[in-house]
Structure 1
């Protein structure tokens, strides 16, 4: 495949337009269906779990969490933090509780994190917010048996940035046991010249310091004990697939505990939507990871 540096702008834009690659429906329809699926799943989760909505983790308006608690909540429960996708400019925590549907019944707490999407938030701010959200969760839920991260697309990027944090600058050092990075972007340089960067306004310097692919040594220092799953959809674009494969290889070469899951019969959207289903492959992997499989 051609190196992205040699692609024309329109080809690069297509590579980073996930909706163009779905085999299920048109680009516009797959996005509409995605939002509908996430909202419906979150509604279901809110009916099944005890919820604590809009819990602040900072002073900013967007710095809030939604917590989905099992009805039979004992000490020592695993907790999964979910970071939503939407290219750092769409979606919110309001439709990000769907994965609690199969998890709360198994005694797993799910936390959906809100952050300031662009243009209100810039990349440095979003990364800082998700890091602080994890610190806040640790402080509020000190009795959990294990902390796990899951992020989709832009949220997978943010989860990888959390794993790469220098925690010496924070009041606690979270011990993240597992991370599920689903259809993520780990090198931001290819999107600088695309439509994705228009609301983000990233410079090359900002993109480099917020690219997990550049921070593998920091990740090893901060999260060497974390079991990482890099998951990618069969029908993600070639560039999206390459991002996952390259990041997986970089982590593996550093001696980290990482597996690559190439999920058949999925695209960029239903690879995460299906976490609402307890029988889905990634849900089963997640349940196993948290000790509930």
Structure 2
């Protein structure tokens, strides 16, 4: 299924392809979304109860421009920073590591293709984990998602990581693109094609196709120590 394959889909099929809750196997529709919200909320509460935190730290002037920081129990001048960007279609140090899920994976991918020298900084990003992401926004224009975003074709193309992959530099970070067995065919296609685009540009990239999970529990299971994606992330950080 090539990048132009979506252009031959009817609007109704695109709606379905880019509605992850329709592909969940455990629950369907709103029930799948609600269960995901409850799972990640419970995980957040456990994390806040077990470590030091600094919550709702502003990084901009907007109401939604806030960070929650989870800090090691023992103070240290050198510890890795792991930045997680949640999904929701953009609505809902020493060694920085990025992890993004769904629309959050898109934002993390945009970080990788940004020329940070224009802003006078060079972030030391050692690794990026992109989970069930969307990397080409143009198909989204024809779905319910764009009702709120109101993107034009030009905006969608300008903000599509698939279309702004840069040639890897010698210090380019390690990238893991993960996708769920029960993600929609379009989400799976996008993950496969984006990982190939990175590889063609010289990036160190791996594609991980995770069996028996869907768009939601692929990320929920990160709270499990024995989960393969948890182990891969910990090993990525340990290798730095």
TM-score category of the 2 structures, normalised to the smaller one = over 0.9
1:263 counterpart = 2:179: no
1:248 is aligned, of 187, 191, 195, to 195
Is the Cα contact below 8 Å between 2:157 and 2:163 reproduced in 1? yes
**CA displacement, residues 183-231 of structure 1 (integer Å, 9 cap, x when unaligned):** 00000001101101110000000000000001112x635x952000000
User: What is the SS of the residue equivalent to 1:87?
Assistant: coil
TM-score by structure 1 length?
0.78
- Residue segments in structure 2 that go unaligned for 5+ positions in a row: none
**Please, which of 75, 94, 99 is the counterpart of residue 73 of structure 1?**
75
Matched-pair contact (CA < 8 Å) for 1:224–1:256? no
> Alignment partner of 2:46: what SS?
helix
Q: State the Cα distance separating 1:61 from its structure 2 match.
A: 2.5
Q: Deviations over 1:61-100 (max 9, x none)?
A: 222111000111322111101111011122xxxxxxxxxx
Q: Retained in 1: the 8 A contact 2:94–2:124?
A: no
Equivalent residues of 1:231, 1:261 under 8 A apart: yes
Q: What does residue range 1-293 of structure 1 map to in structure 2 within 5 Å?
A: 1=1, 3-90=5-92, 144-217=93-166, 220=168, 225-291=172-238
Could you say if the C-alpha distance between residues 249 and 45 of structure 1 is closer, same or farther in structure 2, counting changes exceeding 3 Å? same
Give yes or no for contact 1:167–1:173 (8 Å, CA) kept in 2. yes
Equivalent-residue separation in structure 2 for 1:224 and 1:188 (angstroms):
28
Distance in 1 separating the partners of 2:181 and 2:187: 10
TM superposition score normalised by structure 2: 0.95
RMSD of Structure 2 on Structure 1 (CA): 1.6
Hey, what's the Cα distance between the residues in 2 that align with 1:65 and 1:292? 26
Deviations 1:256-282 (A, max 9, x none): 100000011100000000111111111
Q: Which runs of 4+ in 1 moved over 6 A?
A: none
Unmatched 5+ stretches in structure 1:
91-143
Q: Which moved more, 1:261-270 or 1:170-179?
A: 170-179
Structure 1 residues 292 and 216: alpha-carbon distance in aligned structure 2, compared to 1, 3 A threshold: closer
Report the more deviating stretch, 150-159 or 80-89. 80-89
User: 1:180: how far off?
Assistant: 0.2
SS in 2 for 1:291: helix
1:292 deviates by: 7.7
Q: Which moves more between the two structures, 16-25 or 182-191? A: 16-25
